[in-house]
Structure 1
Amino acid sequence: MNHNDGRGLRVFLTGASSGIGMALARAYAGQGATLGLVARRASELTALRDSLPEPQRHRIYVLDVTDHAALQAAADDFIAALDGADVVIANAGISQGTLTEFREDLAAFERIMAVNVTATFATFSPFVARMKSLPEAQRRRCRLVGIGSVAGIRGLPGAEAYSASKAAVISYCESLRVELRAAGIKVVTIAPGYIDTPMTRVNTYRMPFLMPPDQFATRALQTIAEGRSYRVIPWQMGVVAKVLRMAPNWLYDAVFARAPHKPRNL
């Protein structure tokens, strides 16, 4: 199995029915990978599968990633059917504006954390023991991929839950990466900037370096194949992220205090 061309790869992907997930699914399928596609919406998931090359090779799982029993069952089915997985991508994610001053935003905060953070753990968990049991050469082909965000690098006003969730994903994947280093299993964190998806199209403000999802997928697949520990895509947002990370709090606060907010109550 060659990560560089995707042929023979077994890829389990959540949040597959739209946006980044759909672009990743199309890119991997185009390279000859066999996919396990997870999403909540049956019609969109079925349409995606049917649009892929050799659709009969791919398996679909209609579920909410916060239903951990259903997610475990899907992972077990994929492992049994394909004799394991090479790449597991915890891509499912949601976003909306949240403000702590509004008590009614608590439910949205909890939902965002459940989908973006806890479900990342629940997506990876069924695969780790199986990957660790493989011979060394096979373990070194394995990838666990978490999808962070530039929003996880510094907290953005009006996006308290989303920023917190993506910061948690980045930190969680770093912890897991170090934990699995001795086993030779690569944990890859990808932090998208602004990608042209349904999630970002609700934004009413300018989005610098906006990237089409197919271009994002091409770069993401390369990053995953290389087993890189962390990458911001596009690279221009990576430069911005480094500057933001180094900026002192007083400067960051002054610049971003009046930044536009993501809409609430979506």
Structure 2
Amino acid sequence: MSSPLKVFITGASSGIGLAIAAEYARRGAILGLVARRGDALERFRQAHPEHLISVYPADVRDADALAAAAHDFIAQYGCPDVVIANAGVSRGAVTGLGDLRTFRDVMDINYFGMVATFEPFAAAMIAARAGTLVGISSVAGVRGLPGSGAYSASKAAARTYLEALRVEMRPRGVAVVTIAPGFIRTPMTARNPYRMPFLMDVDHFARKAADAIEQKKRYIVLPWPMRVVAMILHVVPRWLYDAAMKNAAHKPRAATD
């Protein structure tokens, strides 16, 4: 009988992270869950008493707290099989309107938080020549979305970082998977004041994501029709992109949410 998977997930208290945690619980995994909302993590643990679940109330901007959580998880269960850097925020921000702090916060959480999540696990995975590092990017990182410059920039940074990391880790026996969601039905997207094509149920997303991780896919866009959208966005000329997006609805600025 094979041993249960050991999975460590950040941003696990709601939305995509919570759904992925629930999917891995259904698959019998040992879980390490990180989020700022410790009460939500504790409710999840109490709802799954038959599973081994360690919870770590922490902000991914706190690298020391992440390192402590990683060391505790490894001490209890050994090196994880899968580490999922999921924690992220989406906040509207516009240059020239005093939103510099929002730009910094979004980049700190969505990009630097991902690096800080992987850092304390990398050496153990390399030593074991096993494991998978998973980063949640976004289709929004393919082109800059007006009104969402902070979010698009952070996800573009995550996407290119994960690509570099994948090439670095491959000869060391560690897989790197990039998952780029389109529109997923979560509390985060519920506030979007615009049409969201191919909106995907978050539980369906979690099942597809876990399957892709198991298969060690290098890069996957979910739902699949958004892969076509992403490909078009990537190659459309700048003049046409500018014309198409000039009247696009903007995400509300964080200061006015």
Give the distance between the partners of 2:158 and 2:48, measured in 1 at CA: 29
Give the distance between the partners of 2:107 and 2:221, measured in 1 at CA: 21
The aligned residue for residue 162 of structure 1 is 151
Shift of 1:102: 1.0
Q: Identity over the aligned pairs, expressed in percent?
A: 55
Give the distance between the partners of 1:181 and 1:63, measured in 2 at CA: 30
Give the distance between the partners of 1:231 and 1:164, measured in 2 at CA: 19
Q: Say which of 77, 83, 87 aligns to 2:78.
A: 83
Give the distance between the partners of 1:253 and 1:52, measured in 2 at CA: 49
TM-score by length of 1: 0.94
TM-score by length of 2: 0.97
Give the distance between the partners of 2:251 and 2:83, measured in 1 at CA: 29
Letter in 2 for 1:232: V
- Mapped pair 1:263 → 2:247: no
- Mapped pair 1:120 → 2:114: yes
Structure 1, residues 5-52: CA drift from partner, whole Å, max 9, x if none? xx6100000000000000000000100000000001121111112223
The aligned residue for residue 209 of structure 1 is 198
1:127-138 aligned within 5 A: 127-134=121-128, 136=129
Q: Is the 8 A contact 1:29 1:53 kept in 2?
A: no
Q: Is the 8 A contact 1:12 1:36 kept in 2?
A: yes
Give the distance between the partners of 2:45 and 2:250, measured in 1 at CA: 35
The aligned residue for residue 183 of structure 1 is 172
1:1-266 aligned within 5 A: 8-52=4-48, 54-55=50-51, 57-103=52-98, 105-134=99-128, 136=129, 139=130, 142-265=131-254, 266=257
Shift of 1:223: 0.6
Give the distance between the partners of 1:58 and 1:177, measured in 2 at CA: 28
Structure 1, residues 116-175: CA drift from partner, whole Å, max 9, x if none? 0001000001111101111x4xx1xx1100000000001100001000000000000000
Give the distance between the partners of 2:49 and 2:24, measured in 1 at CA: 10
Give the distance between the partners of 2:44 and 2:249, measured in 1 at CA: 34
Structure 1, residues 154-201: CA drift from partner, whole Å, max 9, x if none? 110000100000000000000000001111211000000000111100
Give the distance between the partners of 1:217 and 1:206, measured in 2 at CA: 22
Letter in 2 for 1:146: G
Moved >2 Å (runs of 4+)? none
Give the distance between the partners of 1:48 and 1:58, measured in 2 at CA: 9
User: Any gaps of 5 or more consecutive residues in structure 2?
Assistant: none
Give the distance between the partners of 1:11 and 1:152, measured in 2 at CA: 26
Q: Is the 8 A contact 1:26 1:52 kept in 2?
A: no
Q: CA RMSD in A?
A: 1.2
Report the 3-state secondary structure (helix = DSSP H, G, I; strand = E; otherwise coil) of the residue aligned with 2:171: coil
- Segment drifting more, 60-69 vs 45-54: 45-54
Letter in 2 for 1:82: Y
Give the distance between the partners of 2:168 and 2:46, measured in 1 at CA: 38
Letter in 2 for 1:214: D
Q: How many residues align?
A: 255
